[in-house]
Amino acid sequence: MDEIQIASLLKSSELFPIPQGLKLSYGTAGFRGDAKLLESTVYRVGILSALRSLKLGSSTIGLMITASHNKVSDNGIKVSDPSGGMLSQEWEPFADQIANAASPQELVSLIREFVEKEEIKIGEYKAAEVWLGRDSRPSGESLLRAAEIGVDSVLGSVSVDIGVLTTPQLHWMVRAKNKGLKATENNYFENLSTSFRCLVDLIPINGNNKFEISKLLVDGANGVGGQKIEMLRGSLSNLDLEIRNTGRDGGVLNEGVGADFVQKEKVLPLGFGLKDVGMRCASLDGDADRLVYFYVPSDSTSDVKVELLDGDKILSLFALFMKEQLNVLDDGKEGKQSRLGVVQTAYANGASTDYLKQLGLDVVFAKTGVKHLHEKAAEFDIGIYFEANGHGTILFSESFLSWLVTKQKDLTTKGQGGSEEQKAVSRLVAVSNLINQAVGDALSGVLLVEVILQHIGWSIQKWNELYKDLPSRQIKVEVPDRTAVVTTSQETEALRPLGIQDAINSEIKNYSRGRAFIRPSGTEDVVRVYAEASTQEAADSLANSVAELVKSFLGSS
């Protein structure tokens, strides 16, 4: 690093002193906190993003300013790698170091050391490019300016403000740009509407499923997702949308609304009530990377109940549809059958896992956290992953997608354009375009759910009957040292303290359809207990018994 670069960094970093006592850690959600305290962090992540672009041969990097489902006064920042995926875990320790550097001198020293270790060349004209996006939070604009100054302080780096976006839009655009494809917001919308229309055109027409297109009510969480789905609505045929909680009517982002609120509290979002009995409803989260469905059952009285269809239910619907298409292909395919895999975490409801296994699917478990699920799903020809919170997507391997596209052309050339095999191939290719393969995306997710329900002629009530969730309970146990608990990579069993898993297993045996596990929190001295059983009373009892075991093995704070 030459003297000009060092002077540029020292000068710009003095504009953004780190707040007293601020200590941050980069995780799946990037950095998050009170927006008023984040200017120095966002500036520094701007520098990191420029260095990441330089390291990866001038690939475009994405930088998103959002705090997803957090309250409106919070904000955050996360980095998208060229693939559209999350920042490589190898760079997370560097992110932590520079975010917490106490002075401009310490910051520059850390950057110089890292640049030398990673052999990053700085100074060439327009050698790095970082695309900046933000959600609809009021604090986003000033934080974006800090990110721009961070990027531009690395010589030869260019920042591009691409405006107010959902998080998945930014990830999609970065992925498309690095693949040499058209990568504007309009291209994103065009991609969604074209592939959706293609799937609609391929809906089988027979006497059994004359599916009447009923209205879908969408809760936009008073965030950017509600605004973007309004923009998309005009280009969608075969979909009747009514969008509520767009944020334009004075509603507050994530306050009593949004997928996180509906899924965790199991209550209706604001603006929904008895008038919506039996209607199909979907809820996006604040930055539109999570999606859940729900409806008000017909037996609701003044005490309005909600029937929730969470990420597990969405995954099951997607898996059912994808398996149906692959079955048609595999019947006519010589040699190795295509590998369809489903990835869940230990928190997935046991009833959903049982259902997926009954379908004959390959179900694997990954550690909690989207990056672990994504990694595991990438091992299959088609990998589907979802967390119960509604974050998930479908991945197609490059080799399988290439095979599909070739197969589609071959069948058309051979005059088999209308065959069942050709339709199945075309549906799979359309799904690969519709679904956001970079990251979970509520907008593409809602379109895929809607077209699958039309395809099979199901109401939301019929979909909900796929399986009945087992009652569950989660408990947090405060402990002196959470690192005393070590689990298997899938987090379904505890390896330490020695003997605790045997004790948990003995407890589980006392309950019909019982299942329980423990895992240490990633951020606080807490051990999380999850239990499920055939009744709510039994699930509560099992969770409490396991919590007592944790206290007896580890002590309690």
Residues ≥6 apart with Cβ < 8 Å to 325: 424, 427, 428
The DSSP secondary-structure symbol of 461 reads: H
The sign one gets for the Cα dihedral 103, 104, 105, 110 is positive
The residue written with tokens 């997370």 in the block is 92
Tokens read off for 72: 């409106």
Q: Are 44 and 38 in contact (CB under 8 A)?
A: no
Nearest-Å Rg of the Cα atoms of the chain is 24
Q: Are 533 and 546 in contact (CB under 8 A)?
A: no
The verdict on whether 68 is a catalytic residue reads yes
DSSP states of 28-79: TTBEEEEGGG-HHHHHHHHHHHHHHHHHTTT-EEEEEE--TTS-TTEEEEEE
- Neighbouring CB atoms inside 10 A of 328's CB total 18
Give the span between the Cα atoms of 111 and 154, in whole angstroms. Answer: 11
DSSP states of 229-278: HHHHHTT-SS--EEEE--STTSPPTTSS-SHHHHHHH-SPPTT--GGGBT
6: exposed, middle or buried (Cβ count in 10 Å: 0-12, 13-18, 19+): middle
DSSP states of 463-500: HHTT--PPPEEEEEEE-S-GGG-EE-TTSSSEEESTTH
Type of residue found at 363: V
* Catalytic option among 8, 12, 53, 68: 68
Type of residue found at 59: S
Strand pairing of 340-344 and 362-365? parallel
3-class secondary-structure state, position 127: coil
- Neighbouring CB atoms inside 10 A of 356's CB total 24
Type of residue found at 474: Q
Return the active site residues. Answer: 68
